[in-house]
Structure 1
Amino acid sequence: MDRFDRVGRWAAYGSAVVMAPYVSIKVAWVVGAAGGLLPVGDGFGLTEWLVLNTATIGMAAVGITMSLALVRPWGLRLPGPLVAFVAWVGTGFLVTMLPYAVLDSVRGVSGGEPRHREGDGPAMPGWEAALIQTGFVGMGLGLAVALPAYLRRRWPDVFAGRTGDGGAAPWGPARWAAGAAVLIGAVWLYWACGGTAGVAHPGGRNAAWRLLSGLCGLWALTASAATWALGRGRPARVPRWIPLALGWLGTGSLFAWSGWKLPFTLYLLAARPDDATLPDDLALAAVLHTAAVAAGAVMLPALLRTRRRVPAPR
């Protein structure tokens, strides 16, 4: 067991541990609200509150199980594609959320949880908010390290060697996907820097929206650069696991975040509710998210297809 593998194992255990308080808090909210002992969050009915928090409990439980699967022996007996896909999607969500969660803990810019309010409304104690944010940040960091270590342990030939040692170039669709990721990332970074072209409601932009746009843009460019680096073998002699790990995280961010945003964007585009809008143009956003999901899904197999060429025996 080398140093990277040891760090990955500790990261997997750590991500499971830091998420446990989040599950406990959510269970308390569900039980307390159902029994009339705790108030529901601002803007939610009882049923909506119970459904939302029950769903997040399930998601957190899946995250904890996945963290343990990446480090325990039974995780190697699970179907490899299933483990890889669930971990890929989950990590793609979390690596994008980490800086956003930090900003949220400082400025309180997101919704979905009970917040301190003036008057007699429900307020979330500071220690609960700290545990929730720590859970998200800790699991995101832990999985970002543990997942590449697990993949290298299960499929060592994919991670072995260095760039430029004979790995196959990415197949045709991956080249187009990498180019599309560059364009998508450039648009998101343009918006993050204050650009207004393609923004239907400039007044609806805030720090959180710009931060998420910038993070998604950076991960899109990272995914594209990693795909080309592995396929073209440049820069040469870089350990293969570095661009492969970055590519895994970047393609996961593209696929997971846009896959989550696309249904909401399509709903807003079709229903046009008066009380819900997005800053960006809905039609353009739908095109970008669709392209991002497709690009992430196409680049991932290309990353895993690039392996060290083993000389044939003589």
Structure 2
Amino acid sequence: MSSVTALAVLCGLVLGAGLWLTIVRLPFLRSTTLAERIEPQLKSRNLESRLLRAPTQNLTPFGPLERILRPVLRDAMTYLSRFNVGSAALANRLARAGSPKTTLDYRAEQLLWAGAGFVLAVLVVAVRAAAGQFSPALLVVTVIGSSMAGYLLRDYVLGQHIKRREAKMLSEFPSLAELMALAVAAGESAMGAMDRVTRSSSGELSAEFAIVIADARSGKPLPEALQGFSSRAELPPLVRFFDGLVVAVERGTPLAAVLRAQAADVRDAAKRELMESAGRKEIAMMVPLVFGVLPLTVVFAAFPAIAALDISL
């Protein structure tokens, strides 16, 4: 296939996609939702001008193109969510990452990343075709592999974000627990101590405390709000911490000593993890020492003797 033919095929695909988007989004082809059907019958109407609304945050740097494709992606995600069995697990992961996105927004981002991989693969194939190195099998493998790589890369980025956020929460936990212990020992209740800690500190764990306080102030019982965070978090120290708060609130047990003990346990666990990491890195340092430095030392030590033997011979 020549470069002119490959360019013509690419332009035809772009033109076909544009015509398809134009036809599909015509008013008489769009399905009317229940909210759109009953909205004219409602007495209360939202008279706020759309010019005063907050602009929708774009997920990509292509603003106009994203606004054109957003309805199509939303419809596709709504349809595919019917067959998705991992929505609950994904919602839990998004909550662990502290992301305000819904599962549909995240799936749309994954599709956008897959689309970026697809476009990149098509560009690479077009460049190779222009150079006269076109192969149909390579085209299929490159396009499918790049799309899957983009889709899975978004999931990997989410996992790394969860790990970094949980590491920050564990590093903040001992200090916040001791602050809560001081507030409780001074006569504050569990919720009052948490509120004081939230107002006097910042970070990922403070943001979670603020969510718990907001749930409690909105009418949810404090033990239920604390258990809600325990179900979102998968860090054993934090789960034990909030379980201890639940027991203290429900049964009135002393809390200051428990908080100090949990803070000390987390610091001890951090020290043990640091020692284990140092041990693993010490073993890893043996590889260049054994295979790099030691052979050179043997060569430098043995070379004078070998040279002396050659001279004597």
Q: Which has the larger radius of gyration?
A: 2
Structure having greater relative contact order (Cα 8 Å, sep ≥ 6): 1
* TM-score (ref. length: structure 2): 0.24
* TM-score (ref. length: structure 1): 0.24
Higher normalized helix content (fraction of residues): 2
